[in-house]
Copies of this chain bind each other. A is one copy, B any other.
Amino acid sequence: MFTKGTYTFEPNFAPEKYVFVSNNDEGLKRFVFDLSGMGNLEIDGQGSQFIFNGFLCPFLIERSKKITVKNLSIDFKRTFHSEGTIIAAYKDSLDIAFSDAYPYNVQNNKLMFTGDQVIGKDNGGEPKRVNYPFWHLLEFDAVKREPVQTAFDYLNVQNMVVKDLGPGRVRIHFPRLKGSVGNTLIFNATDRMVPGFTVSDSEDISVRNVTIFHAGGVGILAQRSNNILIDSVKVIAAPGRMVSTAADATHFVNCGGKITLQHSTFESMMDDATNIHGVYVKIMQIISPNEVVVKLMHYQQFGFDFLAPNSKIEITEAESLITYGETTVVKAERLNKEYTRITMKNPLSSKVKVGDVIASSEQYPDVLMKNCSVQKNRARGILLGSRGKIRIDGNYFHTHCAAINLEGDGRYWFEQSGVRDLTITNNTFDNCNYGFMLGLGVIMVSSGIEEQKKAESRYNRNILIERNTFKIFNPCILSGYSVDNLTFRNNKIENTTAYEFLDWFKNMNLKNFMLTNSSNLKIEQ
């Protein structure tokens, strides 16, 4: 229990731990609230503001039970991303003005964002100042306070040529760089080192009435944990800022039990409002009929150990995402953060081949998302990838890309997905996917299935879309493939002119329903 007030936390004396956090970056990190191995604990901020300085993580909840964090706000003295105003535009270059909130320097034509902390000296004897590296640019509309409709991500921009124009102003050059004077350019963080909440291997965790103004990674990340309640949480930009968290508002990996997101606001993130999925490991070597070496493939999944003895697993063809085997792990030997050698109860199917993938076939949550609002962020609304019962009810979405995305793949991000029981009811979809940066469709299936396997695969199944309102400026409501048993009925569709119907849409033969290679579609308009 904290007396209401503003608390500032400095990293100097904080304890540190090496943690592997899925969809964020691993590392030796400092934590202010390390609630590891605890039970029946409630932290009540009573309305306090918590301000963190530097690479300092607010909450770690590891191997804990019954933990509640409530009535507080989280912000950082210096954000991990930086925001500049576009003050002039030329061919392939922009002039940007930065306020004092985003200190930087330009050396040898390179822009480096800094903070006020120094960590020793470098080998040349110069002070080694804490650096806030960036690698990604995106333009936000100054009035709508959301990504510009026609803006695209500029990635790998860390080495762009930059000229110092004197106090607070720089000129940046990058091939095909564009932007409008008066808008805000976001320089997003390279790494996701500082999530707001890191929850691992825990149970019955609640975050209630908490405002997250910023995090240098995902706002609330839970992995291998059961029963998570996000209630009356606000992820929103602080006054004077365009952006809230540098990555997703929430993210759940191999979680079980029930995940509830309710009465919450997810705004202005640099990524999705939530992403709920499992993890696939890739088969690298088949040692014997029941022994394989598997590998975690994405570097932000390294160290994600989930193949414990007795866990039930599925074996899935990477190209089609068709599961052709299920068995149980008998023995797991972790070789390092990437490789694990596992022994299985049953011999592998004769279909098995190096490159196919393995995931848990039992660790899935039921999901309820109710009375939430998602807007002003980059990318999607919610990514749903659980085999459990998923209910998305009574929410408001006004999203840059798809509002609801069913993704998952075994060759790229290695996120296990594939819904089995998804109900989408009573939501308002307000001109979603206006940015069309990651595909078409308000509700979109974009699982990683090879073209020639789509006819055969049915990765997402049993979807009911009912009593929603779709406000659309382009006709595409549903897009995707390889779906079985989808019902769309009693929804209201309203055409708007809220966004420009761009020229290039006109040749795309856009329709309301663009599902291919699917079965049992019951679409009632």
Q: Is A297 an interface residue (CB 8 A)?
A: yes
A3-25 interface mask toward B, CB cutoff 8 Å, 1 = contact, 0 = none? Answer: 00000000011111010000000
Measured CB to CB, the closest approach of chain B to A396, in angstroms, equals: 28
A-B contact pairs, 24 of them (CB 8 A): A12-B339, A13-B336, A14-B336, A15-B336, A16-B336, A16-B337, A18-B18, A107-B156, A108-B159, A109-B109, A109-B159, A109-B161, A120-B299, A120-B301, A120-B302, A121-B297, A121-B413, A123-B135, A124-B153, A124-B155, A124-B156, A125-B413, A126-B156, A128-B299
With beta carbons under 8 angstroms apart, the residue of B14, B16, B159, B298 that contacts A110 is B159
Chain B, Cβ-Cβ closest to A159: B110
Contacts of A161 in B (CB 8 A): 108-109, 161
Contact A18 B13, beta carbon cutoff 8 Å: no
Q: Is A160 an interface residue (CB 8 A)?
A: yes
Measured CB to CB, the closest approach of chain B to A112, in angstroms, equals: 8
Given A18-B28, A120-B297, output 18 extra A-B contacts at Cβ < 8 Å. A12-B338, A12-B339, A13-B293, A15-B335, A15-B336, A30-B336, A107-B159, A108-B159, A108-B161, A109-B109, A120-B298, A121-B298, A121-B299, A123-B300, A125-B412, A126-B156, A128-B299, A161-B161
Measured CB to CB, the closest approach of chain B to A281, in angstroms, equals: 12
Chain B, Cβ-Cβ closest to A302: B120
Q: Which A409-437 residues have C-beta < 8 A from chain B?
A: 412-413
Chain B, Cβ-Cβ closest to A112: B159
Contacts of A108 in B (CB 8 A): 156-157, 159-161, 174
Contact B28 A337, beta carbon cutoff 8 Å: yes
Q: How many copies does the complex hold?
A: 2
Measured CB to CB, the closest approach of chain B to A296, in angstroms, equals: 8
Contacts of A299 in B (CB 8 A): 119-122, 128
Contacts of A128 in B (CB 8 A): 299
* Cα distance, A335 to B17, chains bound together (Å): 11
Q: Which A142-158 residues have C-beta < 8 A from chain B?
A: 153, 155-157
Measured CB to CB, the closest approach of chain B to A191, in angstroms, equals: 10
Measured CB to CB, the closest approach of chain B to A9, in angstroms, equals: 14
Chain B, Cβ-Cβ closest to A293: B13
* Cα distance, A18 to B159, chains bound together (Å): 30
* Cα distance, A524 to B40, chains bound together (Å): 79
Q: Which A278-302 residues have C-beta < 8 A from chain B?
A: 293, 297-302
* Cα distance, A508 to B128, chains bound together (Å): 34
A177-217 interface mask toward B, CB cutoff 8 Å, 1 = contact, 0 = none? Answer: 00000000000000000000000000000000000000000
Contacts of A124 in B (CB 8 A): 153, 155-156
Chain B, Cβ-Cβ closest to A191: B123
Measured CB to CB, the closest approach of chain B to A107, in angstroms, equals: 6
Contacts of A298 in B (CB 8 A): 120-121
Contacts of A107 in B (CB 8 A): 156, 159
Contacts of A157 in B (CB 8 A): 108
* Cα distance, A107 to B108, chains bound together (Å): 15
* Cα distance, A161 to B109, chains bound together (Å): 8
Measured CB to CB, the closest approach of chain B to A299, in angstroms, equals: 4
* Cα distance, A419 to B435, chains bound together (Å): 68
* Cα distance, A42 to B99, chains bound together (Å): 61
* Cα distance, A2 to B128, chains bound together (Å): 44
User: Which of A107, A159, A301 gathers most chain B CB within 10 Å?
Assistant: A159
Contacts of A119 in B (CB 8 A): 299
* Cα distance, A442 to B222, chains bound together (Å): 60
* Cα distance, A12 to B339, chains bound together (Å): 8
Contacts of A15 in B (CB 8 A): 335-336
Contacts of A159 in B (CB 8 A): 107-110, 159
Contacts of A28 in B (CB 8 A): 18, 26, 337
Chain B, Cβ-Cβ closest to A341: B13
Contacts of A174 in B (CB 8 A): 108
* Cα distance, A293 to B126, chains bound together (Å): 24
A97-139 interface mask toward B, CB cutoff 8 Å, 1 = contact, 0 = none? Answer: 0000000000111100000000111111110100000011000
* Cα distance, A128 to B156, chains bound together (Å): 11
